[in-house]
Structure 1
Amino acid sequence: MSPTRRTTRRSLARRRVPRAAALALLLATATACANDVPEADWSRGLLPDHITEQAGVVQSLWNGAWIAALATGVVVIFLIVWAAIFHRKRRSKAELPPQVRYNLPIEMLYTLIPLVMVSVFFFFTARDSQTLTKVDGDAPVKVKVEAYQWSWRFTSTVNGRPLQPVAGMPVKDYKQGPQLVLPVNTKVEFDLSSDDVIHSFWVPEFLFKRDVIPGIPEDNPGRKFQINTLDKPGVYAGRCAELCGVDHSRMLFSVKLVPQAEFDQYIATNQAGSAQ
């Protein structure tokens, strides 16, 4: 090997090392684990355990979609293998297989079956979407969620009585962020607003998230949704799911579900205008 060629290879190797290191750093950053990732389970389709009635609708839709997709995949793979094994015929290189113009029954079959499948998927998706976006307006607990760069402000109203707003700053741990306290087994209505950029309100255990878009009027139903909390007390992590700026990853908060008696105590000590 000539010295010139050897030198060229060494220079290429030197260039690849920094590139490989940069790629490894990027992959490590992109796949880094957060400390607020809920535990998933195969029995739930790798979704976290839900804490609202509406999330049960999402879980059922998710499971049904996976069952339909896996069933379709099994049928397709079976047909491919069956055709490859039982419809083989050795021919000379010069001999062409029989040429057919069309097969009307098969063409109707592979047109109608996908049409029926898409129609079924659309029906269940549209039905469940209506359930998830339904707002009755009679929730005893209403929460105004204000998203801003880069944290949250929660202003709760319980049976018409306002509570002290809870606001936060960018944090590294969701437990240090603003905490929204809610009672179990209660209907809660959320009203989302933003004054700067698009954010996204997301609690993984809700199995639901909604963009917080600036400029939407208060009377627009698109900025509201409601949940019915289940009897699962605990502290659950929340975050912004829309890239919104330099501190997007630190836009963390928590939702604390408590029994009704504990929530009544929380109301008594956090009513707007009460002495602290």
Structure 2
Amino acid sequence: MRSRRRLRWVTIPVASLVILALAGCTQAQLHGFLPGFQEDQPAVTNHADLVSALWVNSWIVLLAVGVVTWVLIVAAAVIYRRRRGQTGLPVQLRYNMPIEVFYTVVPLILVLGFFAFTARDQATIEARDPNPDVTIEAYGKQWAWDFNYLDEDVYSTGIQGQPSEDTVGSGAGVVQSQLPLLVLPVNKSIEIQLKARDVIHSFWVVDFLYKKDMIPGKTNFMTFTPTREGTYSGKCAELCGDYHSLMLFTVKVVSEQEYEDYIQGLKDAGFTGRLGDDYNRNLNEPGDGSSEVVGSDSSSTE
């Protein structure tokens, strides 16, 4: 009875402290210090909360495992320490079946649990919308980006990051206005078809908490709904050559009217058509020696 009372008196204050600490957490702390979360604002995309929950819950489980492991290490060191007057070796045990079963079953449960929850969330994130509101074709290239707005038959492009005049030699900044720009309407289902013109790249909008490879000769897909207007940084997350660090772009999530105005601006500026596969640097299909690119768009506009 005494031990139960002692445990209760220890558990209640600890639980109270944990609840109090969590109640005072900011949005950044509650989401594991991941980028993209702001006070009293929705997540950047419809998948961001899912990614955050998987991240935070995984760390909670791992921290619990760590605490148990540390307690066992300290307890073993204290309980089985050599006492004054003791000589020789302690009693040697060849095996301990309960402990060995415990050390086998618990890691197996953890691995299966992490796999199950990751596979579940990944299936949700990777599910394609059969009728997206906006379909965009994104090409990664050394060391910039092309964006084709397929539904509107317009495109945008840009150059790799250029050091700004006040930071030349310091590596502290680039000219943001020269970076490729991807504009997305808020609260609309977006499908981005990811392709590469030369080597493997990776499409990563940091605040979206998700990235995906762009592989030559293969089309990958990313489907999501942006849920908060704003300007977000994008970059290549796959080492792709000398100027990989300058392969940047900007994402703007805007209202539907602003999106339509942007598309009309591209049309007025003459950026109509599509920058297609015929601009790829890998011009030979593997194995056949052909110099033609399958699926190239002969109507692409330079």
TM-score range, shorter chain: 0.7 to 0.9
CA distance in 2, matches of 1:148, 1:94: 71
The alignment status of 1:188 with 2:190, answered yes or no, reads: yes
The alignment status of 1:167 with 2:157, answered yes or no, reads: yes
Deviation readout 1:57-80 (Å, 9 max, x if unpaired)? 111110011111111111111111
Query: What is the identity, as a one-letter code, of the residue corresponding to 2:33?
Result: L
The partner residue of 1:122 within 115, 118, 121 is 115
The partner residue of 1:101 within 94, 97, 120 is 94
CA distance in 2, matches of 1:99, 1:246: 59
CA distance in 1, matches of 2:206, 2:270: 33
Query: What is the identity, as a one-letter code, of the residue corresponding to 1:153?
Result: D
The partner residue of 1:46 within 23, 27, 33 is 33
Deviation readout 1:130-175 (Å, 9 max, x if unpaired)? 1121112310101100111110000113xx332x211111113244
RMSD: 2.2
The alignment status of 1:234 with 2:225, answered yes or no, reads: no
Relative to structure 2, which stretch is displaced further, 94-103 or 182-191? 94-103
1:272 deviation in Å? 8.3
For structure 1, list consecutive stretches of 5 or more residues without a partner in the other structure: 1-39
CA distance in 2, matches of 1:62, 1:125: 10
CA distance in 2, matches of 1:46, 1:229: 20
Aligned equivalent of 2:137: 144
For structure 2, list consecutive stretches of 5 or more residues without a partner in the other structure: 1-26, 37-42, 163-173, 273-302
Deviation readout 1:240-268 (Å, 9 max, x if unpaired)? 11111122111111000101222222233
CA distance in 2, matches of 1:260, 1:267: 11
CA distance in 2, matches of 1:81, 1:204: 40
Structure with the bigger percentage of strand = 1
The aligned length equals 228
Kept in 2, the 8 Å contact 1:137–1:189? The answer is: no
CA distance in 2, matches of 1:275, 1:188: 21
Query: What is the identity, as a one-letter code, of the residue corresponding to 2:161?
Result: V
Q: Could you say if the C-alpha distance between residues 93 and 82 of structure 1 is closer, same or farther in structure 2, counting changes exceeding 3 Å? A: closer
CA distance in 2, matches of 1:124, 1:275: 44
Q: Mapping of 1:189-208 within 5 angstroms?
A: 189-208=191-210
SS, match of residue 97 in structure 1: coil
CA distance in 2, matches of 1:234, 1:245: 30
Kept in 1, the 8 Å contact 2:54–2:117? The answer is: yes
Q: Mapping of 1:1-276 within 5 angstroms?
A: 41-49=28-36, 50-90=43-83, 95-157=88-150, 160-162=151-153, 164-172=154-162, 173=174, 174-216=176-218, 218=219, 223-230=220-227, 232-271=228-267
Deviation readout 1:111-133 (Å, 9 max, x if unpaired)? 11111111111100111111121
Deviation readout 1:192-238 (Å, 9 max, x if unpaired)? 1112111111110110111111021x5xxxx11101111x2111111
Kept in 1, the 8 Å contact 2:183–2:259? The answer is: yes
Kept in 2, the 8 Å contact 1:235–1:255? The answer is: yes
Identity rate, percent: 43
Q: Could you say if the C-alpha distance between residues 94 and 59 of structure 1 is closer, same or farther in structure 2, counting changes exceeding 3 Å? A: same
TM-score, scaled relative to structure 1: 0.76
Query: What is the identity, as a one-letter code, of the residue corresponding to 1:104?
Result: M
Q: Could you say if the C-alpha distance between residues 136 and 110 of structure 1 is closer, same or farther in structure 2, counting changes exceeding 3 Å? A: same
